[in-house]
Amino acid sequence: TVPSLEGLDYSALLEKIKQGPPSDGSSSATTTTTTPQKILVIAADQPSTVTLPLSYECHNRSIPLLVVRSYGLLGYARIQTATPYHCITEAKKSNRIPDLRLSAWPLFEGLKNVASTVSNLDEMDDTKDHSHVPFVIVLLQALDKWR
């Protein structure tokens, strides 16, 4: 069984990890590095009683945290970074409403030809034929009636 991570002192654990990588004792030569260690904490399928204190301690030490949870074929990944990292607030506007008005620009010839081949929709008896008419054609005929 896997031991529970609840109640673990994350502060001491993260400080120990930041001091240097754990050694297995097999290497006789001691290596000292002057480059700072890059640390990423990954929490997979942990309850909120584990991720909340871990998130707090990682944020205080400016250590990025990746929380991953999966539910069969579905899941999510959350990334938490601290102050030395930049955040992307809005790369592209995703709420731009496209202009779908048919009267906003002149219709192209192909659409005019297709719209003229469809007979009056009110006279169609078969629902199968009626359901195969593209909605743009229905809108164009309603626009012509309205004009």
The share of the chain scoring above pLDDT 70, in percent, equals 69
Maximum separation of any 2 CA atoms in the chain, in Å:
91
Q: What is the 3-state secondary structure (H, E, C) of 23-74?
A: CCCCCCCCCCCCCCCCCCEEEECCCHHHHHHHHHHHHHCCCCEEEEEEECCE
Structure tokens at 77: 């990944």
Mean pLDDT of 73-89: 79
Q: pLDDT of 55-64, one tens digit each? A: 998 888 888 8
pLDDT tier for residue 1 given thresholds of 50, 70 and 90: very low
Q: pLDDT of 100-140, one tens digit each? A: 677 656 667 777 788 778 877 777 777 777 778 888 888 88
